[in-house]
Structure 1
Amino acid sequence: MLNQIPPVIRGLLIANVAIYLLQMMLGDTLTLDFALWPFGEQTGRAPDGSIVTVGFQLWQLVTYGFLHSGLPHLFMNMLALYMLGGAIESALGSRHFLIYYFVCVIGAALAQLVTIEYFTGGFYPTVGASGGVFGVLLAFALLFPREKLILFPIPIPMPAWLFVTLYGAAELFFGVTGTMAGVAHFAHLGGMLGGFVLLQYWRGKLPWKPRNRLTP
């Protein structure tokens, strides 16, 4: 079955599941070094009693996207990646899709850092592949706007463009109002924004033109 999944999607699924298993084995160790932490540093006591200092490091812009807060978090992200990502990888090609995914992950991380630094405050880690997944969702709506999707828990099929518009509007509303605290709503939007800008660049619709225009 795995052989039928496009190579980048397959690699991402395997990597995320494997790293989650490591999280279960090692506890908070991976979170201390590889989750996305806000700018600055904070010192505290680790579960084993040792004193640790945590804070932002450059590699966290990518590594946080392979950590998850629990099995439901992992399952939902991987399910969406599995269901929608294959079509995007086939449309863009594996190389372009890999670049696209990580641009979305990084875009989500930057949005989250800005949100914490200038708006919400606090000092807490961010984890999850949701930034990349929301970028995939945005790409699906742009490349396959008339394909039908279902917005859980509303069992009504709707065109992908409408699905993503409503989902994005809901994320913006929840982020602005502080509803569903603990969810990185602006990171989700940052992933979508990063993906949108990259697709527009590849299509030659920005002032900076790509060497090889992509027309999926």
Structure 2
Amino acid sequence: MVARSEPFVAMRDGSQPRLPLWVRAVIVLCCGVQAAVMAADLMGYPIARQAALIFGGFWSPVVWAGHGIFPGHVLTMFLTYGFLHAGLLHLGMNMLSLVALARELNRLIGPRRMALVYAVTQVAAALLFAAMTPDGGPMIGASGAIFGLAGALIGFAAVSGWRRRRPLGQLWRGVALMVVLNVALTVLMPSIAWEAHLGGIVAGLVMGAAMALTGSPRSSAF
């Protein structure tokens, strides 16, 4: 059975739920990295941005080769690419989407399972990007994992709503808004890796639906 909290209605006191610590850490890291890169540009060191892309971006050829420019590169880039962004617009859209989705999903599945979704879908996003664009790179940004959260929200809400026979209402409108915002970003920035978005949202859908079917209670820790 799922927890008896009512996931499809707003909090009764009208307050916004507090963001989990790990979400705040992701936001701080993403903003900090972007600030450092921009500061280096202003000081006349564009090589810092280039180094960040080379060492931290996701490169499909590295996956297929099985090795990179330093030991463990093929593994570390699955993590580091999610903290790099192409600019303030890219960063801002992603962080706003992350905050909105995390607040809602946190009420449904709890911070620990949400962190698991974020991590797994970030990897899934990169894997599909590598599979569909073998020569692609560097791919950067948290969008893949954020689409993963959106997918988990849709999957969990759809299955839970079906099991409880409840209308999804406002929840669907919120998810639709996040999808529209990210699609708009894709249009505004044609270099956005839609393959990563696809990989993230599909993996998130599967995980969200599975969590709703298992029905284990949400955790309030982390």
- TM (norm. structure 1) is 0.68
Matched, 1:14 2:28: yes
Alignment match of 2:51 (pick from 6, 18, 29): 29
1:21 Cα deviation (Å)?
1.7
Matched, 1:130 2:143: yes
Whole-Å separation in 2 of the counterparts to 1:112 and 1:106: 10
Whole-Å separation in 2 of the counterparts to 1:110 and 1:133: 15
Is contact 2:62-2:74 (8 Å) kept? no
Q: Which residue of 1 aligns with 2:109?
A: 92
Whole-Å separation in 2 of the counterparts to 1:21 and 1:58: 25
Q: Which residue of 2 aligns with 1:192?
A: 201
Q: Please list every run of 5 or more consecutive structure 2 residues that lacks an aligned counterpart in the other structure.
A: 1-16, 41-47, 159-167
Whole-Å separation in 1 of the counterparts to 2:216 and 2:193: 31
Matched, 1:148 2:170: yes
Matched, 1:63 2:104: no
- TM (norm. structure 2) is 0.66
Secondary structure of the residue aligned to 1:183 is coil
2:196 counterpart letter in structure 1: A
1:34 counterpart letter in structure 2: G
User: Structure 1 residues 61 and 124, CA, compared in 2 at 3 Å: closer, same or farther?
Assistant: same
Where is the helix percentage greater, Structure 1 or Structure 2?
2
Q: Which residue of 2 aligns with 1:152?
A: none
Report the more deviating stretch, 68-77 or 133-142: 133-142
Identity %: 27
Whole-Å separation in 2 of the counterparts to 1:96 and 1:128: 21
Q: Which residue of 2 aligns with 1:47?
A: none
Q: Which residue of 1 aligns with 2:10?
A: none
Whole-Å separation in 1 of the counterparts to 2:206 and 2:153: 14
Q: Please list every run of 5 or more consecutive structure 1 residues that lacks an aligned counterpart in the other structure.
A: 42-51, 150-157, 175-179, 206-212
User: Structure 1 residues 143 and 53, CA, compared in 2 at 3 Å: closer, same or farther?
Assistant: closer
Matched, 1:81 2:98: yes
Is contact 1:38-1:123 (8 Å) kept? yes
Q: Which residue of 2 aligns with 1:183?
A: 192
Matched, 1:214 2:216: yes
1:131 counterpart letter in structure 2: G
Alignment match of 1:101 (pick from 118, 141, 153): 118
Pairwise CA RMSD: 3.4
Whole-Å separation in 2 of the counterparts to 1:33 and 1:63: 8
1:160 Cα deviation (Å)?
5.0
Secondary structure of the residue aligned to 1:182 is coil
Structure 1 stretches of 4+ moved >4 Å: none
Q: Spell out, residue by residue over 1:142-173, the C-alpha distance to the aligned partner (whole angstroms, 9 max, x if none).
A: 34462437xxxxxxxx6357x38x86xx79xx
Is contact 1:77-1:130 (8 Å) kept? yes
Is contact 1:104-1:195 (8 Å) kept? yes
Where is the strand percentage greater, Structure 1 or Structure 2?
1
Is contact 2:152-2:209 (8 Å) kept? no
User: Structure 1 residues 128 and 147, CA, compared in 2 at 3 Å: closer, same or farther?
Assistant: farther
